[in-house]
């Protein structure tokens, strides 16, 4: 009688799962980036755009103006360079405008509920868009002569062409969102009651430039950066002279300096109290400014102004990175000073609204549901404590819309739980993935200084598709067949294109080879039940 063979007991089994791609996690608007990149890989551009539009109503704008934090966390940086996500998004957004793709609106019945949105910038437009898709009537009241807020008045045309911005705003208006311009709200509660609104969303942008006390015996020409950029947007040409100083180190300072060069300034000088490493502006903004001839005077603070002569103190950074005075001074002569030290929100008109609470900087405190202390009044964007970017504002508008929708329906909105992030150490890139990033074309530096034409060009169809194909599909199966090919027990069953795989646990021995070979970390070994 032959001896029996002892089969080892399986202690764990493989399971397929979807981990959260870092790009998706890093997007303040909550876009499903990996999914629309996947559609783009196959040339399914309209489907890709429709995926974006579930979360963000202005992809052509964001493809140009977002600071793409999604790329900052892209795992591909450990291979060569990040996927140019913003460039693919721009391509999709531009294609939608070119082809006239209609906004995909889910089949919903109109609720009969009315929502007032105060402010027609990115956060207000986003909230209005999503609320309209949810079946509510939405009206935007904006104090300005055109919708867009700081996208119109704070971002120069060479970064965001106005025909692109206006087209994406018009698309929201064409959905049935009413936009009332030149309408400054003075009394929020009265406005809500008079209009018969069931809820409101505060989305006023940070239009007030911060001031700083600088002794000045006789100050010459001075502008705040926002007023300066607004005047240029309105078609005026401020008289700035030959030599212009910009006081500040943020993105607005870079925009003001580059705009000054385009208005004819021979020299545009950035004066900032810290160094480049600690500046609030994004590095690529500084790079483009330097390329265009903007001079950077790091570690400098203006102490006194006497007509066109500035007394500037040299600073040093302490161990914590904070600037400290040195007692060493320089003289600097300029024709115009542009103050770019940050912006605040005008919330004075909200002080009488019952229940509202404010931080010292004037921003409004909200709960996790984006609601203020006044029932039915929500807030987002620059109005609340947060990073002030277009994409953050759009994300706030979407998030608030979810809670406003639930409030109007008398229900609760519970966000779906997030999966584990597919970090680079979880990946197993056994295949050759050497594929250099496609560069976007730039107009020549000499041409930039004489025109407000868009500086950065878009990708063509071939390049956009190529960039999408550089995506590593972190955390999500892309049907590479690695698990199918490596399983020694034939326990992996392929279900067909787009349907992925399943495991036959009657055959699986728990050897872990499939999990170790999965390049995108879409397989996890879990403890065997009752083992």
Q: What is the pLDDT along the chain (531 residues), one digit of tens a residue?
A: 445 545 568 899 999 999 999 999 999 999 999 999 999 999 999 999 999 999 999 999 999 999 999 999 999 999 999 999 999 999 999 999 999 999 988 888 999 999 999 999 999 999 999 999 999 999 999 999 999 999 998 899 999 999 999 999 999 999 999 999 999 999 999 999 999 999 999 999 888 778 777 766 666 688 899 999 999 998 888 999 999 999 999 999 999 999 999 999 999 999 999 998 889 998 889 999 999 999 999 999 999 888 788 899 999 999 888 999 999 999 999 999 999 988 888 888 899 999 999 998 889 999 999 999 999 999 999 999 998 899 999 999 999 999 999 999 999 999 999 999 999 999 998 887 789 999 999 999 888 888 899 999 999 999 999 999 999 999 999 999 999 999 999 999 999 998 999 999 999 999 999 999 999 999 999 999 876
Judge if 330 and 358 occupy the same domain.
no
Which residue, among 510, 422, 519, 362, has the nearest Cα to 12 in the 3D structure?
510
Judge if 80 and 147 occupy the same domain.
no
Provide the 8-state DSSP code for 21.
Answer: P
What b/e readout covers 462-482, taking b as 16+ CB neighbours within 10 angstroms?
A: ebbbbbbebbbbbbbbebbeb
Is there a domain that residue 6 lies in?
Answer: no
Handedness of CA 181, 163, 450, 300 (dihedral sign): positive
Among residues 387, 409, 431, the one where a domain terminates is 409
Judge if 393 and 482 occupy the same domain.
no
The partner residues of 85 in beta bridges, in order of sequence, read none
Among residues 293, 320, 343, the one where a domain terminates is 343
Judge if 245 and 304 occupy the same domain.
yes
Taking each helix axis from N to C terminus, what angle separates 461-469 and 85-99, rounded to the nearest 10 degrees? 140
Is there a domain that residue 2 lies in?
Answer: no
Judge if 489 and 519 occupy the same domain.
yes
CATH for 512: 3.30.70.20
Judge if 200 and 249 occupy the same domain.
no
- Domain housing 516: 12-17+477-527
Cα distance between residue 376 and residue 344, in whole Å = 24
Is there a domain that residue 414 lies in?
Answer: no
Cβ neighbours of residue 300 closer than 8 Å, sequence gap 6 or more? 271, 272, 273, 312, 313, 314, 315, 330
Judge if 161 and 245 occupy the same domain.
no
Count: domains in the chain: 4
Cα distance between residue 424 and residue 410, in whole Å = 42
User: How far does CA 453 lie from the centroid of its chain?
Assistant: 23
The answer, as to whether pTM is greater than 0.85, is yes
CATH for 390: 3.50.50.60
Residue 504 Cα distances to 13, 137, 166, 492, 493, angstroms: 10, 51, 55, 6, 7
Judge if 120 and 99 occupy the same domain.
no
Judge if 174 and 245 occupy the same domain.
no
Cα distance between residue 253 and residue 451, in whole Å = 19
Which residue, among 343, 344, 345, 352, has the nearest Cα to 377 in the 3D structure?
352
Is there a domain that residue 415 lies in?
Answer: no
């Amino acid at each position: 009688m032959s001896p029996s063979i002892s089969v080892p007991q399986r202690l764990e089994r493989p399971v397929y799962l979807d981990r959260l791609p870092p790009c998706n996690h890093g997007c303040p608007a909550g876009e499903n980036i990996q999914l629309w990149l996947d559609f783009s890989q196959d040339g399914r551009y309209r489907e890709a755009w429709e995926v974006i539009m579930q979360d963000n109503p202005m992809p052509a704008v964001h493809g140009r103006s977002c600071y793409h934090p999604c790329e900052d966390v892209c795992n591909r940086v450990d291979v060569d360079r990040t996927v140019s996500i913003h460039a693919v998004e721009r391509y999709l957004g531009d294609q939608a405008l070119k082809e006239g793709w209609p906004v995909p609106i889910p089949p919903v019945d109109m609720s009969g509920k009315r929502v007032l949105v105060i402010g027609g910038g990115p956060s207000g437009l986003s909230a209005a868009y999503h609320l309209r898709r949810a079946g509510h009537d939405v009206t935007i009241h904006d104090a300005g002569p055109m919708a867009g807020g700081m996208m119109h008045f704070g971002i120069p045309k060479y970064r965001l062409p106005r025909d692109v911005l206006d087209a994406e705003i018009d698309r929201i208006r064409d959905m049935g969102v009413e936009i009332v311009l030149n309408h400054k709200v003075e009394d929020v509660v009265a406005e809500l009651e008079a209009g018969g609104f069931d809820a409101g969303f505060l989305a006023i942008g940070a239009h007030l430039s911060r001031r700083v006390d600088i002794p000045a015996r006789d100050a010459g020409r001075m502008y705040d950066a926002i007023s300066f950029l607004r005047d240029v947007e309105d078609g005026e040409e401020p008289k700035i002279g030959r030599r212009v100083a910009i006081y500040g180190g943020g993105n607005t300072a870079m925009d003001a300096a580059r705009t000054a060069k385009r208005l004819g300034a021979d020299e545009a000088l950035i004066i900032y109290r810290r160094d480049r490493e600690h500046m609030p502006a994004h590095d690529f903004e500084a790079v483009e400014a330097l390329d265009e001839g903007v001079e950077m005077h790091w570690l400098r603070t203006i102490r006194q102004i006497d007509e066109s002569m500035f007394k500037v103190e040299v600073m040093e950074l302490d161990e914590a990175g904070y600037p400290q005075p040195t007692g060493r001074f320089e003289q600097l002569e300029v024709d115009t000073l542009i103050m770019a030290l940050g912006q605040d929100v005008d919330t004075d008109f909200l002080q009488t609204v019952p229940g509202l609470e404010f931080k010292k900087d004037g921003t409004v405190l909200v709960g996790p549901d984006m609601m203020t202390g006044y029932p039915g009044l929500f807030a987002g964007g620059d109005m609340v404590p947060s990073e002030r970017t277009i994409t953050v504002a759009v994300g706030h508008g979407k998030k608030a819309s979810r809670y406003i929708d639930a409030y109007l329906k008398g229900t609760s909105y519970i966000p779906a739980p997030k999966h584990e992030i597919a970090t680079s150490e979880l990946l197993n890139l056994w295949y050759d993935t050497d594929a250099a990033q496609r560069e976007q074309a730039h107009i020549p530096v000499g041409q930039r200084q004489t025109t407000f034409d868009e500086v950065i060009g878009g990708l063509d169809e071939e390049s956009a598709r190529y960039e999408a194909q550089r995506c590593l599909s972190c955390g999500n199966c892309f049907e590479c067949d690695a698990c199918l090919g490596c399983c020694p027990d034939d326990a992996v069953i392929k279900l067909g294109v787009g349907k992925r795989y399943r495991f036959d646990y009657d055959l699986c021995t728990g050897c872990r080879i499939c999990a170790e070979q999965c390049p995108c970390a879409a397989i996890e070994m879990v403890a065997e039940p009752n083992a």
